[in-house]
Structure 1
Amino acid sequence: MITILGPTASGKTRLAVALALKLNAEIISADSRQVYRRMDIGTGKDLDDYCVEGQRVPFHLIDICEPGTKYNLFEYQRDFLAAYDLIRGRNRLPLLCGGTGLYIESVLKGYQLSPVPQDAALRERLSDKSLDELTEMLRDLKRQTGSAMHNRSDVDTPQRAIRAIEIEMGVLAAQRDKDEGRCMERSFPQINSVILGVDIDREERRKKITARLKERLEQGMADEVRSLLDEGISPEDLTYYGLEYRYVTEYVTGKITFDEMFQRLEIAIHQFAKRQMTWFRGMERRGFTIHWIDAMLPMDEKISQALSYI
């Protein structure tokens, strides 16, 4: 398998598509929000990028579940393996592409996971705690589990932090069960992958993020959120998805002005991209070799450099 990773606005999808055409590959998305149908502008699906000169590159794990649901890592591993086996069964090359470091690392490292159901009693106990308090609880749990599973990009709302705590507590329980010979984990195969990273200069990344945010707002990101609310999806469920959906929901429900929404969202996306790079650098410290390619190179040079690593 080939893996292409990078922060938001780095151009990783375009590189993946161009490389997939060269190598007869199919793309498996590693994006925690592009799994949701009708959440298109806010998640930056850019599905037109998968079509080049009339040729469409097959992609997987985009538009596979309904808004309002809480897709999780266990489900991603399951769906990844199904897509991976399907692509290999066609004698084609799987190409994993995305910016959700947790999803990428979970399949490259082969995390052994058990499903973690929602815990109503735990959620009730945590319901009045602040995001800072929840984040500290999560940090303590991670110290106990030794887990690299959650970083701040996963817990930017109280709902996401509570879900992360549920998962870490599930990991802790599974570790205890394993020690006592009672753990039933999903086995995960070892998948060998060349990892390519798209590296973009910080200032250039900031420019692209701001320009893309303006473009998405012009494309109707607020209308997309209104449409989802009109479907009956609650504002709380939409803010769970963080970033665009958090701040645009606050804007369309009248909690903040357009200018406040733009400023806060712009800052949040810049911070998110920085955390993505922190995760990828952490992967290198955890033993992964990432071959970095300059995002500003012409596409033919990026393709040539990528092929030299494969």
Structure 2
Amino acid sequence: MTTPAPHDLSLPPYDLLVLLGATASGKTRLAVQLAEALDGEIVSADSRQVFRGMDLGSGKDLAEYGSIPYHLIDLVEPTEPFSLFDYVQRARPVIADIRRRGRWPILCGGSGLYLSAIVQGYQLTEAPPDTELRRQLDVLDLAQLRQHLRSLRPQLHNQTDLTERARLIRAIEIATAEQQAETLPVEPPHALVFGLRWPRPLLRQRIAQRLHQRLADGLIDEVAQLQRQGVSWQTLEFYGLEYRFVARHLQGQLDFAELCQQLSQAIGQFAKRQETWFRRMERQGLVIHWLDGQADPFGQLRQKLRSLALITTGPRP
């Protein structure tokens, strides 16, 4: 039996393929299928997969990649700072290098801010800690800090910056540095964007099933090991979701049943926020070609490429 020839992809108008979706939607598996068909490499757009040792909680699923090269996973220790600026500084050269080598970069993830920064060409400025500015901000209460940040950045990308004092101060620091810097506009890539989605009740089921599997695979032990290695309870709380709730369980604040119930609910709420972010990207003019997770999403993806006259079957030239 002869092996079918791989698909030949010719995308003159595009230089980046994007696959986004809510947590537990099956993005990694679909991205691997796409990379296998199109001779591509996967670039992670996940704010927690950059950290070593945060495997089950961040959903790295490294075994799924097989022989497909992947990038921007396991970059730094979880005790090291890593910002959106750091991510963009690494992601843009990686994407360019994949293109230079004649392969297709496939940006895959669900961290809305990271996706937007690449796809929509955010202009970012390095902002080292500013001791004098922090001293001035220390005397302000939360309401004053929020007002100050909104005055610097009326169209705030990340609303979570408004919820915690440390994040507010850091966001003000970054916004102040951006105002003071002279930077050139960033040309966004010509991205062809696909989104994977499920009806919400089914997505909730997938979230619950995946959570129970990860707990069975050792999620609690993973968080305990991170804490033993020097990642503080406060830092684990900051990383949110699995790390926040398992850390509370390990400190005796939640029993196992409460952990499962509260964490599953929190992940469901996070998925809703992800979907809200994707709708916001569409309102800003980004075209997302949505795929139905229930009905052979890879087949839908190939059909969409064919309908755009961007994919043919047959041997590579």
TM-score class normalised by the smaller sequence: 0.7 to 0.9
Report whether the alignment pairs 1:146 with 2:154: yes
Report whether the alignment pairs 1:96 with 2:107: yes
Deviation string for 1:34-64 (max 9, x for gaps)? Answer: 000111000011111212xxxx111100011
More moved, 216-225 vs 228-237? 228-237
Query: What is the aligned partner in structure 2 of residue 33 from structure 1?
Result: 48
Question: Which fold has the larger relative contact order, with Cα–Cα distance below 8 Å and residues 6 or more apart in sequence?
Answer: 2
Match of 1:269 among 264, 267, 270: 267
Which has the larger Rg? 2
Match of 1:162 among 166, 184, 188: 166
Counterpart contact for 2:34–2:298, Cα < 8 Å: no
Deviation of 1:150 (Å) = 0.3
Deviation string for 1:260-294 (max 9, x for gaps)? Answer: 22222111101100000000000011111111110
Query: What is the aligned partner in structure 1 of residue 191 from structure 2?
Result: 193
Which residue identity does 2:65 align to in structure 1? Y
Deviation of 1:100 (Å) = 0.6
Match of 1:11 among 11, 23, 26: 26
More moved, 106-115 vs 25-34? 106-115
Deviation of 1:193 (Å) = 0.4
Secondary structure at the aligned position of 1:194 is classed as: strand
Give the Cα separation in 1 of the matches to 2:162 and 2:81.
Answer: 14
Deviation of 1:235 (Å) = 1.1
Report whether the alignment pairs 1:84 with 2:95: yes
Query: What is the aligned partner in structure 2 of residue 280 from structure 1?
Result: 278
Q: TM-score, normalised by structure 2?
A: 0.84
Query: What is the aligned partner in structure 2 of residue 212 from structure 1?
Result: 210
Query: What is the aligned partner in structure 2 of residue 67 from structure 1?
Result: 78
Deviation of 1:171 (Å) = 1.7
Deviation string for 1:121-161 (max 9, x for gaps)? Answer: 638966997xxx47x94476246413342034x777x3xx6
Deviation of 1:117 (Å) = 2.3
Query: What is the aligned partner in structure 1 of residue 3 from structure 2?
Result: none
Match of 1:259 among 247, 257, 260: 257
Q: TM-score, normalised by structure 1?
A: 0.86
Deviation of 1:168 (Å) = 4.0
Which residue identity does 2:286 align to in structure 1? F
Give the Cα separation in 2 of the matches to 1:128 and 1:267.
Answer: 34
Give the Cα separation in 2 of the matches to 1:164 and 1:17.
Answer: 37
Deviation of 1:111 (Å) = 1.2
Query: What is the aligned partner in structure 1 of residue 314 from structure 2?
Result: none
Which residue identity does 2:170 align to in structure 1? E
- Taking a change above 3 Å as real, the CA distance of residues 226 and 306 of structure 1, as seen in their structure-2 partners, is farther
Deviation of 1:248 (Å) = 0.3
Which residue identity does 2:274 align to in structure 1? Q
Which residue identity does 1:166 align to in structure 2? R
In structure 1, the gaps of 5 or more residues are: 178-182
Mapping for residues 173-252 of structure 1, pairs under 5 Å: 173-175=177-179, 177=180, 183-185=181-183, 188-252=186-250
In structure 2, the gaps of 5 or more residues are: 1-15, 311-317
Deviation string for 1:236-274 (max 9, x for gaps)? Answer: 112111111011011112222122222221111011000
- Taking a change above 3 Å as real, the CA distance of residues 164 and 87 of structure 1, as seen in their structure-2 partners, is farther
Which residue identity does 2:159 align to in structure 1? N
- Taking a change above 3 Å as real, the CA distance of residues 276 and 87 of structure 1, as seen in their structure-2 partners, is same
Secondary structure at the aligned position of 2:196 is classed as: strand
- Taking a change above 3 Å as real, the CA distance of residues 195 and 143 of structure 1, as seen in their structure-2 partners, is farther
Deviation of 1:89 (Å) = 2.0
Give the Cα separation in 2 of the matches to 1:87 and 1:287.
Answer: 26
Give the Cα separation in 1 of the matches to 2:138 and 2:255.
Answer: 30
- Taking a change above 3 Å as real, the CA distance of residues 196 and 185 of structure 1, as seen in their structure-2 partners, is same
- Taking a change above 3 Å as real, the CA distance of residues 145 and 119 of structure 1, as seen in their structure-2 partners, is same
Query: What is the aligned partner in structure 2 of residue 20 from structure 1?
Result: 35
Mapping for residues 291-310 of structure 1, pairs under 5 Å: 291-308=289-306, 309=308, 310=310
Give the Cα separation in 2 of the matches to 1:224 and 1:107.
Answer: 30
Counterpart contact for 2:145–2:168, Cα < 8 Å: no
